[in-house]
């Protein structure tokens, strides 16, 4: 069933989300997410901001930088099915 779910969702969204699911407590800068996921920086920017707006990702500001990590809500647990 997880593979069917992955097939129904945008592959770029899945690639970006997997970066966060593989290292749940790590903070990531957009460029690192883009590089690791293989998704262009512009698309990564849009996807990460959408996930932050949906509270899938937490945002931490450090100086002028924004860093992102996987959120800690119980709804996030359902997304871990994609990583299985």
Which residues of the chain are under the pLDDT cut of 50?
1
Domain ranges (residues) in the chain = 2-83
Which one of 1.10.10.10, 2.60.120.380, 1.10.3720.10, 3.40.1190.10 gives the CATH number of domain 2-83?
Answer: 1.10.10.10
The pLDDT value given to residue 84: 60
What is the distance in angstroms between the CA of the first residue and the CA of the last residue of the chain? 10
Tell me how far apart the alpha carbons of residues 2 and 62 are, in angstroms, rounded to a whole number.
35
Query: Tens digits of per-residue pLDDT, 44-56?
Result: 999 999 999 988 9
The pLDDT value given to residue 1: 45
Tell me how far apart the alpha carbons of residues 29 and 45 are, in angstroms, rounded to a whole number.
10
Tell me how far apart the alpha carbons of residues 32 and 37 are, in angstroms, rounded to a whole number.
8
Residue 58, phi then psi, degrees to nearest 5: -95, 145
Query: Tens digits of per-residue pLDDT, 67-78?
Result: 999 998 777 777
């Amino acid at each position: 069933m997880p593979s069917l779910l992955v097939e129904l969702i945008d592959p770029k969204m899945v690639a970006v989300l997997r970066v966060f699911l593989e290292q749940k407590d790590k903070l990531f800068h957009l460029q690192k997410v883009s590089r690791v996921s293989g998704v262009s920086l512009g698309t990564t920017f849009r996807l990460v901001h959408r996930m932050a707006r949906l509270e899938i990702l937490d945002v931490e500001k450090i100086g002028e930088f924004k860093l992102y990590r996987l959120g800690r809500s119980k709804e996030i647990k359902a997304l871990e099915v994609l990583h299985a």
